[in-house]
Structure 1
Amino acid sequence: MNRLELARIEINRVDKEIAKLFEERMKAVEEVINFKIENNLDILDSSRENEVIKRNKKLIEEKKYEKYYVDLITNMMRISKNYQKEIVDKYSKGE
C-alpha cells in the first residue's frame, strides 16, 4: 500500500469514530432541548456557544488546525440548533 491508501484508511477509521461520537452528541442535544422545552428556554444561548468555542479550541495541540476546529465546532452547534428547532416544532404541533 502506498501513503495515499494508508492515509485514506486512517481517514475512514477516524470518520467511523466521528460518526459514533456525533450520534452521542445528538442524543445529548435531545436531552438539552427537552430541558429547554420543560423550562421554556430559548434554543439559542450565545454565551454558552462562546464558552464552548473558547474551551474546546484549547484542546487543539497543533495551532495550525485551530481555526478549522472552531469552524467544525461552530457548524456542529448550528446543526444542533437546527435539530432542536425541529424537535420544538414537532412538540408545538403535538407530534
Structure 2
Amino acid sequence: MRDLSDIRMDIDLVDRQIVKLFEERMKLTAQVAEYKIAAKKPVYDKTREEEKLKTLSELTVLEENKAAVRELFTCIMAISRGQQSGFMEKLSLKE
C-alpha cells in the first residue's frame, strides 16, 4: 500500500494540471465571446451544451464517473458563460 503523503503529492500534481488546463479553457472563453458578439449569437446554447455534456460523460472509463464528469463540466460551462457575459458586457460598454 502506498504512503498517504505520496498519494497526496500525486493528487497535487494532477490538481496543478487541472488548474493549468482550466485557465487555458477560460482564455478560449474570451475568443468564444468575441465570435458570439460578431455573429450576434447568445451566450447560452442549450443544445450545444447538452451535446457536449453527453460526449464528455461518454469519455469516462468507469461508469460511476459519468455523472460526476457531467456535473463537473456543467459547472465549468456555467463559469464559462459567466465569463463570456462579462467579457461581452465590457466590449459593449467600450463601443
TM range (shorter): over 0.9
Structure 2 gaps, min length 5:
none
Partner of residue 25, structure 1 = 25
Which residue number in structure 2 is paired with residue 15 of structure 1? Answer: 15
Percent identity (aligned): 34
> Which runs of 5 or more structure 1 residues have no equivalent in the other structure?
none
The separation in 1 between residues aligned to 2:28 and 2:70, in whole angstroms, is: 20
Q: State the match for 1:63 in structure 2.
A: 63
What SS class does the counterpart of residue 68 from structure 2 fall into?
helix
RMSD: 1.3
Q: Secondary structure at the match of 2:94?
A: coil
Partner amino acid for 2:56? N
Distance (Å, rounded) in 1 between the aligned partners of 2:93 and 2:52? 31
Residue type of the partner of 1:88? M
Amino acid at match of 1:74: T
TM-score, normalised to structure 1's length? 0.92
1:3 Cα offset (Å): 2.6
> How far apart are the structure 2 equivalents of 1:91 and 1:31?
12
Deviation sequence 1:42-69 (CA, Å, 0-9, x none):
0000011001101111110011111111
Number of residues of Structure 1 aligned to a counterpart in Structure 2: 94
